């Protein structure tokens, strides 16, 4: 079977945006258990995409297993200050190497909502970084 360059690029485009693995995690707000992967912040038309990681202070139970952290791929409407979650992955260890569950959202214009207080801080940070990259 011959694999073309177009096939490789297509597979990379499908797989890479859904993984969210990076070494550029910044605590937001500073000192919190919430982090943003600054390398993942991208403008996608009117929305800004980013990966956010949360380390749980205490493990949480999901489907009978303990989860220590999660990564969420979010889409933010910076102008309207709304957001939605595109994908969430929970992990069985604090270092985020053993996935437990993956939830993939079905974003629509109706799924964008006003963020919770800590999400507002994350959203502000992500929108600021995205605007500096234009």
Q: What tens digit of pLDDT does each residue of 22-54 get?
A: 579 999 987 789 999 999 999 988 899 999 999
Average pLDDT over residues 100-113: 84
Asked whether the beta carbons of 58 and 68 are under 8 A apart, the reply is: no
Q: Of 56, 50, 47, 28, nearest to 37 (Cα)?
A: 50
Grouping H, G, I as helix, E, B as strand and the rest as coil, residue 131 is: helix
**pTM of this prediction?**
0.78
Separation of CA 117 from chain center: 17
**pLDDT value at 127 more than 90:** yes
- Determine the 3-state secondary structure of 24 from DSSP: coil
Q: What's the pLDDT at 62? A: 82
Beta strands in 20-104 (DSSP E): 25-27, 34-37, 42-44, 47-62, 65-77, 82-91, 99-104
Asked if pLDDT for residue 94 goes beyond 90, the answer is no
User: Going from the N-terminus, what domains does the chain have, and what CATH number goes with each?
Assistant: 5-132 (2.40.128.710)
75-86: b (≥16 Cβ within 10 Å) or e: bbbbeeebbbbb
Backbone angles phi, psi at 30, to 5 degrees: -55, 130
Checking if the pLDDT of 16 tops 90, the result is no
């Amino acid at each position: 079977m011959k694999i073309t360059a177009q096939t490789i690029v297509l597979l990379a485009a499908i797989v890479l945006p859904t993984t969210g693995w990076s070494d550029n995690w910044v605590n937001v707000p500073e000192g919190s258990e919430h982090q943003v992967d600054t390398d993942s912040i991208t403008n996608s038309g009117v929305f800004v995409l980013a990966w956010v990681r949360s380390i749980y202070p205490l493990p949480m139970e999901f489907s009978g297993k303990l989860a220590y952290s999660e990564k969420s791929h979010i889409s933010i409407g910076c102008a309207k200050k709304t957001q939605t979650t595109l994908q969430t992955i929970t992990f069985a260890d604090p270092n985020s190497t053993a996935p437990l569950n993956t939830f993939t959202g079905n974003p629509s214009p109706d799924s964008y909502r006003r963020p919770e207080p800590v999400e507002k801080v994350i959203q502000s940070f992500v929108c600021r970084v995205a605007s500096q990259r234009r």
